[in-house]
Each structure stands twice: as C-alpha cells, then as structure tokens.
C-alpha cells in the first residue's frame, strides 16, 4: 500500500481546509489537502449569493468567488491536493499520525503526517431529529440540500413551500425559492427571535412579504406520497398550543434547523468533544485533546461568517507548523468557561502568556451588553461594551498576557 509522508495533512477542502493548507505551504511546510468531493470549495460552491469576504478580502464576493480565490492560492502553492479521497481512519501516534484514505482514483493509501488539521465542516440536522409526526412523503428537504439542487443543477424542489427555521440558510433559501417562482408561504421559527442576520430578514423575507411566525412549531406533516400541508402551532409555556393550531398548504418543506459538526473521525481517534459546540475541545493553539491534531472552521464550532473561518484556519495552520518544528507555545493551560448569558467559548483552555483569540456566542438577544472576562476572585481582566448582541452573531475578542487560575467570560445585560 502506498504511504505518503507529509508534515501536515488537512482533512476537508472547504473554506477552512483551503485556507489552512495555503497557510501551511506559505510557511514552507509539506502539506497534503484531502477532499472527498471531486472539486474543493465545500459549501461555498453552492452559496451563489453575495456577502462573503468583506473582512478577509476587503471585497463583497459570492461563495464561488471566495472559493475560487482560496483554490487559486492553493493551486499556485506546493500543496498536494487529493480530491475524491475520503479519510476513513486516523491512527494518532507519537512519531506521526497514520491516516487511511479511500478513493476511486488511487485505491486505498496511507498518509503519515506529523500534524493533522481537521476541517471537515458540518452536515444538517433533519426532520427525523425533530420527530415531527407524519409520513415520510416526498417533498421534504434540508435547506442546504435544496440549495445544492437548485444552485448546482437548477432542479426545483416543488411549487409551494414552507420553511422551518429562520437561520441564515432558511432565509437565503426563501429568497432563492421566490426568485425561482416557487411560492414561499411562511417561515416558522421556534424561538421568539430570528436565528439569522437582520440583513437577511430584510432582503429575503421583507422584500417578498413572506411572513415569519416566531415562537411557532410544526406539529404535523400532512400527505402520504407527497407533502400536502403542514400544521403549525404557537408555543405557550414552552409547549405547542394545539388550541391555536392551523394548517398551511404546501407541497414542499425546507428544514433549516441546525448544523452538526462532522466529527466521526474525531470520535474515532479519541478526541474529546465539547457538548456545547459539538466540536473538539481545543486550547489557544487550536490543538485538540490529541497531541498534534488541530481543528478549525465549522467542524470546531458553527460560524456565521466565512471570513472568521479563514482567520481561524490560518491560526490552526500556524500552530500545526510550529508543532512540526517543536516550536509550539507550551505551558500550563487554564480553563476558559462560559458565564452569564454566554452559550459557549472557544477555546476552552488557554495559555496565560501570549496573544490569544476568543470566539463566543450569546445565549440571549441584548440591545446593550458588557463583555466581561474575570478571574476566580471576580476581578476584571478585560471588558468591552457591545451593542446589538444576538445568538446569531458570533463575538470575537483578543487577550494578551494575564495572570489567573481560570477565566469566566460573561455578557452582562445593560
């Protein structure tokens, strides 16, 4: 069996993987990028709308354009790109991780990598996860899959749709369906606030007079061979208020109900996952609980802006390169824990010395909030006033050297 020896193996050729691989090559490391699809780009290829790259490229680009910029960088570098290749196993070891890779093109081969960067992205939660009563009729799609059908093939999923979930994927698809002459009856959202960006509420719902029903849930899917309608009900005290249940006619349902990081490989090789993010627990070097294995992008935690994915991937690449050269910053890692109104913090363990990047998400919508980083005695290490805080928008901040046994990161409503 053929064995490739490399410094760094990057698993996944989407936004995170492409950025990480390009960075590794830029820093003169020998890197292989392994992507299961025929072409790289990941989900960017199907995101044909614009809104990407404002931070990273200082330009507003569509998904495919963003992917093309990254792919060009990779193709003009020394990165060895292996497409149509799937990593099926990671065997971590002191002197080099062995990856087993399956492909139609090359058969089965192994990659011996000093360091590995995980960049596998996410897949979608589906109707089955929600346990909605009804039959398994035709016409039920995940929003991302419907996006792939329309944007990569102009296959239209139906004529009259209901969208479940007001995250950005659902909102973007509301506009995409309307632009393709598919009537969108409404968007249903279980929370009392929209899950996606306000900008998308405006340009995807308000522009088309599509009603958004907040604090509503889907109680049944009607139809046998094909969807005929959905029943929805408002939430009352956390449960469906069936007294006010109503039926909405449709032949298509799009579910936009959350993304799940694809961590099969991570679990298989013993990496510890954080139940708050469904991604690996990492330290401020973006290293997982397995030495020499790093993670970045959506597989680590679900991002809103691809620009932040690229910035995170660059940092993972820098760490992986340092690790290969035995130059990775070491020391005592102290815990960084989410406090009041914070759903999660990445990373969970940080070094006291050095420059550190943090990402966090609020668990509450707040007009004004004070981001506070405190030590166990309650003393303030860092604080910043924030406006328009919402769970849908990730918050980033940086810290320099500090001294504390642990950090608590919280958002105080003002």
Partner 1 sequence: MRVVKKICINCPAGCHLEIIDDNNTVKVSGNRCQRGVKYAENELRNPCRVVTAAILADSEPRCCIPVKSSAPVPVKLIRTLLDDLSKMRIRLPVAVGDKIIRNFHGTDIDIIATGGHE
Q: Quick check: 46 and 26 in contact, CB under 8 A?
A: no
Handedness of CA 187, 193, 197, 198 (dihedral sign): positive
Q: Quick check: 60 and 53 in contact, CB under 8 A?
A: yes
The number of residues in the chain equals 414
81 binding partner 1? (CB under 8 A): no
Give the contact letters, 223-262, x = binds to partner 1 (CB under 8 A), - = no: ----------------------------------------
Distance CA 10, CA 41 (A): 14
Phi, psi of 291 (to 5 degrees): -55, 130
Give the contact letters, 372-411, x = binds to partner 1 (CB under 8 A), - = no: ----------------x----x------------------
| 3 state DSSP class of 209 | coil
**Looking at 95-103, 145-153, 272-280, 372-380, which segment touches partner 1 (CB under 8 A)?**
145-153
Give the contact letters, 194-223, x = binds to partner 1 (CB under 8 A), - = no: ---xxxxxxx--xx----------------
Report in angstroms how near the CB of residue 414 gets to partner 1 at its nearest: 17
179 binding partner 1? (CB under 8 A): yes
Report in angstroms how near the CB of residue 148 gets to partner 1 at its nearest: 11
Among 78, 93, 108, 152, binds partner 1 (CB under 8 A): 152
**Looking at 123-131, 183-191, 192-200, 218-226, which segment touches partner 1 (CB under 8 A)?**
192-200
Residue among 194 and 347 whose Cβ is closer to partner 1: 194
Q: Within positions 46 to 75, which residues make up the interface with partner 1, using CB under 8 A? A: 48-51, 54, 61-65, 68
Distance CA 216, CA 239 (A): 10
Phi, psi of 299 (to 5 degrees): -70, -20
Peptide bond into 347 cis (omega under 30): yes
143 binding partner 1? (CB under 8 A): no
Residue 275, burial from CB neighbour count under 10 angstroms (0-12, 13-18, 19+): exposed
Among 304, 322, 370, 375, binds partner 1 (CB under 8 A): 304
β-bridge partners, 174? none
Strands 273-274 and 279-280: antiparallel
Contacting positions for partner 1 (CB under 8 A): 45, 48-51, 54, 61-65, 68, 150-154, 179-180, 197-203, 206-207, 304-305, 388, 393
């Amino acid at each position: 069996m053929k064995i490739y020896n490399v410094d760094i193996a990057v698993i996944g050729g989407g936004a995170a993987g492409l950025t990480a691989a390009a960075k590794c090559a830029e820093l003169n490391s020998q890197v292989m990028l392994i992507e299961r699809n025929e072409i790289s780009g990941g989900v960017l290829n199907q995101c044909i709308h614009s809104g990407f790259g404002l931070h990273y490229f200082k330009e507003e680009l569509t998904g495919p354009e963003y992917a093309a910029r990254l792919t060009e960088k990779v193709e003009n570098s020394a990165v060895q790109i292996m497409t149509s290749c799937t990593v099926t196993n990671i065997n971590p070891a002191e002197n080099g991780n062995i990856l087993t890779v399956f492909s139609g093109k090359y058969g089965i081969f192994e990659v011996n990598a000093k360091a590995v960067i995980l960049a596998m992205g996410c897949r979608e939660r589906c109707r089955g996860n929600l346990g909605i009563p009804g039959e398994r009729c035709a016409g039920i799609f995940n929003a991302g899959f419907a996006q792939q059908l329309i944007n990569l093939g102009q296959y239209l999923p139906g004529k009259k749709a209901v969208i479940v979930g007001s995250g950005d994927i659902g909102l973007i698809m509301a506009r995409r369906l309307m632009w393709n002459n598919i009537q969108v009856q409404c968007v249903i959202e279980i929370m009392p606030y929209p899950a996606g960006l306000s900008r998308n509420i405006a340009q995807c719902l308000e522009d088309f007079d599509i009603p958004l029903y907040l604090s509503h849930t889907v109680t049944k899917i009607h139809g046998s061979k094909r969807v005929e309608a959905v029943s929805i009900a408002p939430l009352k005290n956390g449960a469906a208020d069936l007294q006010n249940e109503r039926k909405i006619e449709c032949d298509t349902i799009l579910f936009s109900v959350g993304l799940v990081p694809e961590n099969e490989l991570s679990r298989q090789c013993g990496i510890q996952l954080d139940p708050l993010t469904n991604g690996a627990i990492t330290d401020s070097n973006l290293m997982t609980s397995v030495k020499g294995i790093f993670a970045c992008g959506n597989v680590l935690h679900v991002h809103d802006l691809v620009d932040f994915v690229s910035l995170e991937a660059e940092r993972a690449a820098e760490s992986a390169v340092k690790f290969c050269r035995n130059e990775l910053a070491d020391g005592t890692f102290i815990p960084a824990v989410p406090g009041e109104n914070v759903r999660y913090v990445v990373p969970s363990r940080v070094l006291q010395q050095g420059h550190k990047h943090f990402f966090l998400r609020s668990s509450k919508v707040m007009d004004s909030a004070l981001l506070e980083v405190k030590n166990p005695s309650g003393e303030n290490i860092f604080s910043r006033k924030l406006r328009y805080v919402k769970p849908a928008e990730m918050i980033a901040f940086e810290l320099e050297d500090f001294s504390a046994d642990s950090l608590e990161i919280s958002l105080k409503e003002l």
